[in-house]
Amino acid sequence: MDLRVVVLTGAGVSADSGHPTFRGHGGLWEGRAVAEVATPEAWARDPELVWRFYQERRQLLASSSPNPAHFALADLEERLGELGVAFSLVTQNVDDLHARAGSAAIHIHGELSVLRCEVCGEKVRDLDHLDPAAFFPCPECGHRAMRPDVVWFGEMPNRVEDVFRQVGNASHFLSVGTSGTVYPAAGLLQLARDAGAKTFVSSLDEPENLSMDDAYFPGRAAEVLPELCELILRQLSR
């Protein structure tokens, strides 16, 4: 089997940069489950509320920085590149912290820094307009409110086929900082096992999709990942 490392990250990787996770401690926003706000129905019913929620998260991008977990993954990518080993980083996170640490991540749930017009499809990368009380009108067609280009509950994630193909060819798969509850991302771990990949899992709380076949490293991503990435590198260079 050719060597290919695929990493899947979730909200836990950005928790140490001050970004709240979706579930567990801090998983509520103004007393509401995040899953109630991040839907097309909520946007249609109460766009002001949904926009305020996302503007808060967009503001957080401006004031937060990548943590050692993001940097460890960027370093892993670079060193695997030197060894000629294929690497991909798939993230469920909508922040830009992987990019700021130097990784090119596949954002299956979209990106907070991109806004999209539901009328004409125009996309704009913007982190300058962060007022929670002012919508961002479409510069192309004038529609009054662009939405964040993120995947909401009930919407199709991005690049699913591509990601499935890469995980299906993985020799090593690392799932980190995700509760393993939201599909299709939560199914990638099983897909990797089925493909015969060596599977590594790390999270603060035990993910729902963990199995005895996985090497499990509990703890905070910022503390665990630097060493875990070294371990993966050692296994690959043998």
DSSP sequence for 182-207: STTGGGHHHHHHHTT-EEEEEESS--
State which residue, 6 or 151, has the beta carbon closest to ligand OAD.
151
Catalytic residue of the set 98, 109, 129, 172: 109
The footprint of ligand OAD (CB under 6 A) covers: 10-12, 15-16, 21-24, 27, 35, 38, 92, 109, 151, 153, 177-179, 181-182, 203-205, 207, 220-221
Helix (H) or strand (E) holding 138: none
CA distances from 41 to 35, 47, 155, 189 (A): 11, 9, 11, 30
Pairing of the two strands 105-107 and 110-116: unpaired
Identify whether 70 is a catalytic site residue.
no
Say how far apart CA 120 and CA 5 lie, in whole Å: 38
Residue 18: CB minimum distance to ligand OAD, A: 10
Nearest-CA neighbor of 135 among 47, 60, 58?
47
What's phi and psi for 72, nearest 5 deg? -65, -40
Output 85 or 200, the one with its CB closest to ligand OAD: 200
- CB 151 to ligand OAD: min, Å: 5
Nearer to ligand OAD, 97 or 182 (CB): 182
- CA–chain centroid gap for 120, Å, is 26
Question: Residue 146 CB, nearest distance to ligand OAD (Å)?
Answer: 18
Query: Which residue, 144 or 159, is less far from ligand OAD as judged by CB?
Result: 159
Q: C-beta of 179: minimal distance to ligand OAD in Å? A: 3
Active site residues per annotation: 109
